[in-house]
Homo-oligomer: A and B are copies of this chain.
Amino acid sequence: MAKLKWGMIGGGEGSQIGPAHRLGAQADGLFEFAAGALDHRADAGREYAQRLGIAADRAYGDWREMLAGESGRDDRVDLVTVATPNATHFEITKAFLEAGFNVLCEKPMTMSVEEGEEIVRVVEATGKICAVNYCYSAYPMVRQARAMVRAGEIGNVRLVVSNFSHGHHGDATDADNPRVRWRYDPAMAGVSGQFADCGIHALHMASFICDDEVEKLSADFASTIPSRELEDDAMVNFRLTGGTVGRLWTSSVAIGRQHGFEIQVFGETGGLRWASEQPNQLIYTPVGGRTQIIEKGEGGLHADAQRLSRVSIAHPEGFPLAVANIYCDLADAIRGETRDGLPNAQAGVRSMAAVHGAVASAKADGAWVDARPPMFR
């Protein structure tokens, strides 16, 4: 099977996100890194792209140049990854979709709900793929959890508890560090800090595994480091369409938690637990029975979990390969095999509506608000 052609916007030298996507796209030999506009400094971007093996004529100075260049080629890229600063995601994603490219956009897909709805409409109009990089949902055992819920193995879901809390912004003496500070500054981060940064992964995961949408929510935000304008800790209660009760805690001042993203799903006939620091196990308890450890790679897993597992049981696979799983699903989707686990533009706009809803609720002392984008009400 010939490799697909892949291009990237952003992810320049020294970024964390560039290597993550390059590994994700290339680990399984599915994509060839064929084009890029990697840096906001045009020359640096062109030079770096060529150092990474991209042909000179496809090492672009900016995304508009790349759009023009690729649009004119017969061997145009099959997929464009957008990994630029958040505020530019909308414009770039929209432009590439409209020009007929498939796009993988880093989260957030957009800054406003309106922009998000616009992307959904563009996707519908063009029929192109627009995925959003909620890569945690691509861990095999998360897919197993979702498949178990869908198969009714824990009955109707009564309750989902999804937390994503860490302590890496807990040092007040480091709060002015530019790599930290921007996340709590509305001028740069938008309306929300920690909830938009990490909490939204947890909310997406709750919706993803329960296979239901967030309907309404109530939020309590706190800036526990007073110099921060945006929240560094948030609690969000929510309800899914099927009536499932949701609890979501996210924090960046939870000192001692490293990557505390974990989800618990409780249904009528069983419970599930998954944690991102031990992603290769899914903990399952049937009602009235003993807790069991489901291992990635064991026999009899659901298809999506099997498909996205590369090595045999108890050989751990980690975060970079969860990103690679997104690219596996994308390669399949580009070739025409629908992968409904792939987070799409609708997931992107729903997340944006939830962020704006949570902000509004928190400002209104926790009043319950509709968390759906208008287009889905």
Contacts and interface: CB of A to CB of B under 8 A. Distances in A.
Interface stretch (A56-64, A91-99, A288-296, A333-341): A288-296
Give the dominant DSSP class at A's interface. loop
Interface in A257-311: 257-259, 264, 266-268, 270-273, 276-280, 283-288, 290-295, 298, 310-311
A315 to B, nearest CB: 4
A312 interface: yes
A316 B316 contact: yes
Contacts of A344: none
A311 B319 contact: yes
Contacts of A26: 26-27, 29
Interface stretch (A81-89, A103-111, A121-129, A167-175): A167-175
A3 B53 contact: yes
Interface stretch (A67-75, A196-204, A363-371): A363-371
Chain A interface size band reads 35 or more
A210 B287 CA distance: 31
A304 B312 CA distance: 27
B255 A310 contact: no
Given A171-B288, A317-B320, A283 B256 contact: yes
A254 B273 CA distance: 10
A318 interface: yes
A151 interface: no
Interface in A317-337: 317-321
B292 A291 contact: yes
Contact of A53 (B29, B278, B365): B29
22 contacts: A1-B51, A2-B53, A3-B53, A29-B33, A158-B225, A161-B254, A171-B287, A218-B220, A235-B247, A237-B366, A247-B249, A249-B249, A255-B287, A256-B266, A256-B273, A258-B313, A277-B314, A278-B316, A279-B316, A291-B293, A317-B319, A366-B368
Interface of A: 1-3, 16, 19-20, 22-23, 26-29, 33, 51-53, 154, 158-159, 161, 166-168, 170-172, 218, 220, 222, 224-225, 233, 235, 237, 245, 247, 249, 251, 253-259, 264, 266-268, 270-273, 276-280, 283-288, 290-295, 298, 310-321, 365-368
